Structure 1
């Protein structure tokens, strides 16, 4: 029976590319995002291996229901890619907008925590894997970047979660890309990493044998 991965932020960019790559590698894919129309179009493209579920991952009840729907539909859960996130204006701290920080912190930090909390009981049953999108800016310091600080949390959390999951032979991987050509940016970045490059890293992490846990994959544009 095919394994199942749940992907948040699946409607575009890295999430959509990872869904396509995982399906091509033989996985069932549960697609979660707020954009229902985009999710349905992607699910139609992938076919029977895909399940589209409109969900805001900062809504704990909606997320719990989405996970239950995934397990009921596919029969289990073997992996999760917590990819949903958002950037913010790079105005530093003194000139920043606390309202913007609030939404970003809730999605980039609490959204990841909620996703882990809702899915770990199911992953424990399958000795599964939790993958999360980090960033180059979660490994280096950038002047006044609140977004970067949220990704520092993600990297630290991923390491701690890897140790927790190791107790029952589960695995946790943080995918850490530099600049990726996605709708995250106002202008196209064709000379930077492409979403498929990151998706290939996700599939690589998923493909490791039980004896190996790739804790981090760091990708940078080659220009």
Structure 2
């Protein structure tokens, strides 16, 4: 996986600046519960688990089993709990062994999304779901980072996949799109706090722009009202594994 390779420095920055608090997670908890009415015997795979932030959240919220898979040694080292080594094209789990797959801000790092879709289909039980939390090309306007760093949106749009392209990749592997919806989140209680913890290496879009564009964005942030909350809307794409072939919903 990778537009970027995460080293120890990036993993540390990710923990400090990208983890949401409970207020930030609240809306996601509600939408995930809506799409994943799973019982205590269910198994969820956090694919591209990073430092395990979402794994920990799922374990707080639900009684089911959560398994994390992460390709980056630095991310696995920074995680609070053990993660399996693997990636989206080579998931180290048996066929028909999980009920849901969760991918959070990771799909743009997957070089072969068709292979990832096929692997997700392999490990999912019939009727299982894939939930993808992401910023998608063409749908960036609700994300604060791009208002302050507009050059990042310009750099990112041709490199990030669109929701339609992801749905098509997964459709070929036997998935049907269930939902595509923006989910508002409190990214930071205040803009001042957001600026204080902002670390460029934790944000792929900021690594895609030059230093001058980054400094202009910082100046815009520092000129804004530091007391305002940072509320963003990332998208949630939900896909369901059909039975088949020939893939029947």
TM-score, normalized by length of structure 1?
Answer: 0.49
Greater strand content: 2
- Name which structure has the greater RCO, CA cutoff 8 Å, separation 6+: 2
TM-score, normalized by length of structure 2?
Answer: 0.45
Larger radius of gyration: 2
Greater helix content: 1
